[in-house]
Structure 1
């Protein structure tokens, strides 16, 4: 089970380059339910995500590079690219800050995963976070991959 909240970021932290990061490429084989493939650095995964916004099922299975490349040819829509920065928060939480590549340059999204719903609901985001878009399907990566205009 994945429990997370998602926020727009209007201005990136000045020291962002000092944090660890991953290069991510991901594509969608299906969007309802979500079936995604991802290359994160040199690792490959197939992911199933159930319905929902803040709370939903998520299963990750390892892939090899050959399988990833084969499935990538079958993907629908835009193949998303992003750099994911990992910023620590108090209480053992981590901000996963995504800086998107083309065609979504300028889109910055932060996700924070929680151990339980109560923690997610009581979370106070840092001052540099923008709008909470947890319950907006328009900011799901699966929606972005369809090439539809994101909400403004």
Structure 2
């Protein structure tokens, strides 16, 4: 239940050519307190309730709990969320033995593309694709919960 991930900006759209799957995601936050965020996510026809804890000092790992919920219930819960919905397409890209989740944002976050890779340990080595840009791991402004309140277009 501990998530370890690193996050990067994406410097080109070449990842789309390497993607083997993509899903449209809509999500909102019931709570964006950095100590614990509570998210409602609808990914195509599947929905989830997710609770995430505070990041560790390095910004690499944190507690995460997720449960699949009924899509109609998720749509109702989205109406209770704090202002600022996240709308994005997530592309899955295999690189070496890892899978990168690349999020292309729309709406108020249009123009932002971020890639994340989940790791088994904080010091795990992984292959970096050519389209991977600057690392932003641990930078709160790139958290979806913060993008919902302070979108990319307002930076």
TM-score, normalised by the number of residues in structure 1: 0.90
Question: What is the rounded CA distance, in whole Å, between the counterparts of 1:55 and 1:134 in structure 2?
Answer: 10
Where does 1:1-152 land on structure 2 (aligned, <5 Å)?
Answer: 1-13=2-14, 15-16=16-17, 19-32=20-33, 33-52=36-55, 53-91=59-97, 93-119=98-124, 122-123=125-126, 125-148=128-151
Q: Which runs of 5+ in 2 are unaligned?
A: none
Question: What is the rounded CA distance, in whole Å, between the counterparts of 2:37 and 2:108 in structure 1?
Answer: 21
User: What's the Cα RMSD here?
Assistant: 1.9
Query: How far does residue 108 in structure 1 lie from its aligned partner after superposition?
Result: 0.3
Question: How many matched pairs?
Answer: 149
Question: What is the rounded CA distance, in whole Å, between the counterparts of 1:45 and 1:18 in structure 2?
Answer: 23
Question: What is the rounded CA distance, in whole Å, between the counterparts of 2:120 and 2:15 in structure 1?
Answer: 29
Q: Which runs of 4+ in 1 moved over 6 A?
A: none
Question: What is the rounded CA distance, in whole Å, between the counterparts of 1:95 and 1:117 in structure 2?
Answer: 16
Query: How far does residue 3 in structure 1 lie from its aligned partner after superposition?
Result: 0.4
Q: Which runs of 5+ in 1 are unaligned?
A: none
Residue by residue over 1:31-72, the C-alpha shift from the partner in whole angstroms, topping out at 9 and shown as x without a partner, is: 121000000110000000000021001000111022112211
Q: Decide whether the 8 Å contact of 1:88 with 1:94 is kept in 2.
A: yes
Query: How far does residue 19 in structure 1 lie from its aligned partner after superposition?
Result: 2.6
